[in-house]
Amino acid sequence: MWRTLEPYHGLVYLAREAEAEYTAVGLAPGRMGYFASRSAPMGAVTADVVIATFYNFQPDLVRRAIPRAWSLASREDILAARLRVIDGALKRVLGPAALEGAEVEEAAGLVGTAAEGCAAPGHPLYAGHASLPWPEEPHLSLWHGVTLVREFRGDGHVAALVAAGHSGCEALVMHVATGQIPPDVATGRAWSEEEWRSANDSLRGRGLLDGAGKLTEDGVAARQRVEHLTDQLAMPMWERLGEEGCRRLRQLVRPLSKAIAETELRGLR
């Protein structure tokens, strides 16, 4: 479910429309739009709240954007800009015709049912986004619903990492060690070479990485435990939707996500 739905959500972070929309409401160019738009549903929170909930970004990178963003633009303007970003990007990438059909409306209804299985306690990012009204347009309603289930799963993933004793930087090191993401994607989180080296040393000291920076057998098992717990914590929403509903939702969203991944998210894994 995550692999199928993530590109439909993730387009908002890489869309070419983002910079113009966020700077138009007063935010500074660069990463401020990302940090402010994703955290704004929680309110004008402190940098420490964003660091805690986003988890794997170098703290100083966050502090360069938050809380200054709240003095430059209102929460309402930022959230409206975020919707304009994804609206414009989806229409540009997929075309209006693909977003106006009955299948998109059906998918929005299905993901809405899944979201009914989510609960706010212990899920701060989900809770913030769940406080927002559902957009009326089917393609934006689908995107909002996908955002809810994505952030619900993400909150659970952070909980699983904390329970396993993995810092944000260590989580990135382990992810790179699997070969599932290239190192430059992880280093975009702005950890210094010293911090990256320290995380590697910590993982090697616990027997999770070998001298070549690859996961050991214990490291593979540790990562699998985190992913398994993440999946377990996410199950309430998929149980709410049911097996057949999950199959149908994947069937409906897969071609949209595939088109987005092939045209806009190329190179990201």
Number of CB atoms found within 10 A of residue 96's CB:
10
Tokens found for residue 224: 């699998």
Where the chain has pLDDT below 50, the residues are: 267-269
Domain membership of residue 28 (yes or no) is: yes
Cis status of the peptide bond prior to 67, with omega within 30 of 0: yes
Question: By residue range, what is the domain housing residue 94?
Answer: 2-263
Domain membership of residue 109 (yes or no) is: yes
Domain membership of residue 191 (yes or no) is: yes
Between CA 82 and CA 92 the distance in angstroms is 15
Kindly report the pTM of this predicted structure: 0.94
Domain membership of residue 269 (yes or no) is: no
Between CA 32 and CA 79 the distance in angstroms is 13
pLDDT value of position 103: 96
- Report the amino acid identity of residue 215: L
pLDDT value of position 268: 41
Tokens found for residue 252: 């409906």
Tokens found for residue 80: 């409206």
In the chain, the number of structural domains is 1
In terms of Cα–Cα distance, which of 37, 38, 75 is closest to 54?
A: 38
